[in-house]
């Protein structure tokens, strides 16, 4: 396991790290850990007063504020979260991920890891692991972009020392939401998991889909229950199999704490099916 120090380094201005890696560092547990995907990137807030276009896709100014407002609206409309309290470690950021920006991001990640190693802040073993991770993550992100057939705007509030996160993926072309994941209090090791039957999970997911008309699905049909204790559920429209959604349900609250729709949900479903078939799950 990489150290929190390494993750902090990867989250410095202009450098990004996988969300999966970030939350591995802070001993994230339970179904939330199961829902965090590798090949997800989030940037830390740029503290400089002058924005520099370094090709990494960092979003600033009015466009960033527009995505911030979109994210706040989603939190309010879908999860009844009316506001987000920010601090120096927990500020909104947004970044465009496509083949071009990923080519710019990768060498910055590698350079930052190299600098940490040169300063003897990390061991050779940590250095090798981080470099390998950057390569794997870059390949995974490019594969995801290719399969989605569009770039992503990944945005949200994620902090190394925070006990919560709010993460969003938007379609780069349409600016519409593709994926949301929220979590609060996941560092509390004493928090007990609820005993929730599969039928209860399905009822909760279906009510959420119907309430929000998620993915334009009119008649939700469950096609796969996955994740730790079945807290990821996939649905499609009974009359249109091209309409799919993925629902995340918290094992601590029994409430929906995330979803993916459209091409994003279709991709996640395909990945889950293939991993199950290959026996890698």
pLDDT 10s digits, 122-146:
999 999 999 998 898 888 889 999 9
DSSP 198-249: HHHHHHHHHHHHHHHTGGG-SSEEEEEEESGGG-EEEEEETTEEEEEEEEEE
Chain-wide mean pLDDT for the chain? 81
Please give the pLDDT value at position 6.
38
CA distance 223 to 130: 37
Q: Give the pLDDT confidence of 227-246 residue by residue, as tens digits.
A: 876 799 999 999 999 999 99
Average pLDDT per consecutive 10 residues, the chain (281 residues; last block may be shorter): 40 35 34 40 38 75 96 97 92 93 91 94 94 89 92 89 87 96 76 90 97 96 86 96 95 93 94 73 54
CA torsion through residues 20, 16, 103, 129, sign: negative
Other beta carbons less than 10 A from residue 168's beta carbon: 26
């Amino acid at each position: 396991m990489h150290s929190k120090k390494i993750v902090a380094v990867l989250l410095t201005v202009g450098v990004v790290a996988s969300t999966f890696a970030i939350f591995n560092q802070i001993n994230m547990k339970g179904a939330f850990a199961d829902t965090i995907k590798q090949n997800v990137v989030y940037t830390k807030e740029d503290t400089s007063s002058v924005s520099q276009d370094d090709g990494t896709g960092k979003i600033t100014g009015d466009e960033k504020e527009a995505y911030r407002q979109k994210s706040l609206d989603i939190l309010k409309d879908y999860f009844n979260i009316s506001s987000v309290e920010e601090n120096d470690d927990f500020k909104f950021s947004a970044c465009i991920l496509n083949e071009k920006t990923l080519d710019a991001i990768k060498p910055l990640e590698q350079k930052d890891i190299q600098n940490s190693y040169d300063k003897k802040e990390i061991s050779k073993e940590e250095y090798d692991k981080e470099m390998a991770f950057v390569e794997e993550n870059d390949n995974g992100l490019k594969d995801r972009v290719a399969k989605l057939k569009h770039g992503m705007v990944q945005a949200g509030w994620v902090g190394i020392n925070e006990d919560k996160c709010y993460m969003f993926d938007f379609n780069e072309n349409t600016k519409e939401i593709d994926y949301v994941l929220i979590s609060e209090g996941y560092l509390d090791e004493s928090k007990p998991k609820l005993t929730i039957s599969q039928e209860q999970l399905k009822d909760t997911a279906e009510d959420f889909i119907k309430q929000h008309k998620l993915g334009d699905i009119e008649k939700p049909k469950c096609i796969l229950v996955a994740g730790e204790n079945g807290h990821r559920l996939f649905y499609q429209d009974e009359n249109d199999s091209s309409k799919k959604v993925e629902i995340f349900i918290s094992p601590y609250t029994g409430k929906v704490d995330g979803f993916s729709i459209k091409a994003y949900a279709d991709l996640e479903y395909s990945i889950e099916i293939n991993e199950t078939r290959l026996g890698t799950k």
